[in-house]
Structure formats: structure tokens, C-alpha cells
Homo-oligomer: A and B are copies of this chain.
Amino acid sequence: MSTRVRDLPTPALIVDADLLAANIATMAAALPGARLRPHVKAHKCTSLARLQATAGHHSFTCATIRECEGMAAAGLGQDLLLGNEVLDARRLGALADQGARVTLAVDSDATIEAAAAGGVREVLIDVNVGLPRCGCAPDDAGRLAGLARSRGLAVRGVMGYEGHVVGLEDAAERERQCRASMELLLAAHADVGGELVSAGGTGTYAINTWANELQAGSYALMDVAYGRLGLPFHQAVFVLATVISASPEWAVADAGLKTMGMDRGKPELDGAPVWFCSDEHTSFKPPRAVGEQVRLVPGHVDPTLAYHERVYLVSEDEVVDMWPVDLRGW
């Protein structure tokens, strides 16, 4: 393509190809190969996952069955972990039948029975390490592993997501709580066995030295929330918008809350939160001229990507590629 960023129809999701490459290289140096199991939920894009594979990571984490299916269809199904519970695993069994390697998180008798009934071959025991979400009680992990094995499932180890820790802005507190969570996970692992101790996210990638694989995803593109943590990753994704209306006091750009995840707060423009977002508008001060382009930094990357059909790769002022966001839906 020889399109210039200036000529893109807006709103558009753009990714700075150079900053993305830098982020991927930084992470691959810190956590090479299988030490990182990139989480595709942050980008939902097989083209981006392929860059992560080129950087040496061939095992991936998914949050939905659709993400597993899309990764397998893209030839990236060498070692997929669905790090989430499901009660109907038949689509995952079908993927395994077709040659993908799919490991499923289980945390209860019901999810183990569903895995076995659906034709899944391999599981991880999902352990609650402090985030009030999924995961069994740590002292129940060994029993569940035994149940899974009795159903013919191979148990590859444990996972435990310290999601209550990854976003803590106080680095010392983040490290202290990460250790506490991982001590729970390692105790469970002693009862479960298997080669995998899977945990972590972008906020703990450098301090979680207990897990033997990290599930970070946001590092590739980043967002306002992760930007506060002082990590060595660059903001690489932006919502490109055009100023369509301006008053003496404010301006309005043509990208609103249907282009961005809002659960962690408003997007930023030039380092400061915007005034407010409506469905298809963002109002901000001080104003700029009608016709100017602006680049909004989303508050939360994962639900931002999920709104977009495609992302434009840009390098300086040029559009260098267009990637479908092909892992959306369920």
C-alpha cells in the first residue's frame, strides 16, 4: 500500500509498526522462547501473533474458544492454552482432532468432566492465587489433578493468574504480592505435578520468577493503564480520529467510546485524559482546527481491539500494512 496515515478514513485503529517491533524484541530478550506464552486476548490478531512466533514464541494463551480456532486456522496451533474454563469443550476436541495441540484450564469437577466429554486431551489445573475469579482453592488442586487423570486427561501442570497484582502501581507492593501468589501456585504445583507453572501478565513479566512461563499480552501494544507502571514498552496502538467540529473552547474528534475500552477510564491525548467520550465522539480541550488528525491512547487495550475489524500498521506517516482483527467473537 502507498496510503498515507493522513488519508485513512477515521476512526481507525493504527499500530506503530516500529514500536510494536521494539516491544516484541524487548520481551523476547527478557523471556525468550517458551518462557513467554503470549496472550492473544490483548490483540485478537493472528498477524500480530505471527510476529510473536517469529520472535521465538510458539506457545500461546487464548481466552476464548474462537481465539483457539483462529490461531489453529492460521497455522499457530502448535501449543495453545485456553486459560479459561468452559462447560462445552467439543469445539476444542475438534481442534485437537484436526492436529492442534490444545490445553484447557480446569478448576472443578464439572469443567474436568466437560474437558473429557469434549475430547480434550490435555489440561492445566487453574488455581486461585488471590484474584477473585476462576481457579480452584490451592489445596484442592491435587485432588482435581487426580480426577482429571482418572478421566484420561494428561495434566500438564498448573496456572494461576495474579490479576489483582499486575496493575499495582507501587512496584515493591507488586513484587511482594506476586511472591505471595506464586507461593500458593508452587504449593499447588507440588501436589499436581507436570511441567508447566503458567502465570503472570505484562505487569509482572519481570518480577514473576516463580512461574516457568508468563502469559503477558498487553506489552505488545500497551495502554494508558499499563503505561503508568514504568515498563520498558512503548505505546504502540492509537485510535486515529479527525476533528470534525470545534468551538473556541473545545474540539470534537470522530472516535468515541465504541472505538475504545472504557472500563479503565478515558483515553488520553498528548498525555492528558480527554474531556469526555460519547458513542462516536471525543470532546477535548484545548481545541484544534477542524480537519486535524489526533491519536488517542486507549485506556485499556484488550477491549479496544475487540471493537475493530482491522488495524492499520503505520511507519511514520505511511500505512505499511492492514491486519484483520480476526479473533473477535466467541
Contacts and interface: CB of A to CB of B under 8 A. Distances in A.
Given A9-B88, A309-B329, A244 B281 contact: no
A85 B280 contact: no
A132 to B, nearest CB: 5
A16 to B, nearest CB: 21
A4 to B, nearest CB: 14
Interface string A104-148: 000110110000000000000000100011110100000000000
Contact of A262 (B108, B250, B263): B263
Given A110-B291, A307-B307, A280 B64 contact: yes
Interface in A7-33: 9-12
Given A108-B290, A263-B257, A306-B258, A250 B132 contact: yes
A120 to B, nearest CB: 15
Contacts of A263: 257, 262, 277
Nearest to A304: B258
A298 interface: no
A247 B137 contact: yes
A279 B87 contact: no
Contact of A133 (B85, B128, B134, B278): B278
A283 B133 contact: yes
User: Copy number of this protein in the oligomer?
Assistant: 2
A196 interface: no
Interface residues of A, number: 54
Contacts of A244: 84-87, 111, 134
- Judged by DSSP, the binding face of A is loop
Contact of A302 (B85, B254, B258): B258
Contacts of A328: 309
A302 B258 CA distance: 8
Contacts of A210: none
Nearest to A289: B110
A329 B309 CA distance: 7
Contact of A245 (B10, B85, B277, B281): B85
A323 interface: no
Nearest to A41: B279
A134 B245 contact: yes
Given A307-B306, A309-B329, A41 B280 contact: yes
A163 interface: yes
A258 B303 contact: yes
A86 B254 CA distance: 8
A2 B143 CA distance: 40
Nearest to A306: B258
Contacts of A283: 132-133
Interface of A: 9-12, 41, 63-64, 84-88, 107-108, 110-111, 128, 132-135, 137, 163, 242, 244-247, 249-250, 252, 254, 257-258, 261-263, 275, 277-281, 283, 290-291, 302-303, 306-307, 309, 328-330
The 6 closest A-B pairs by CB, nearest first: A262-B263, A134-B245, A85-B244, A110-B290, A258-B306, A63-B280
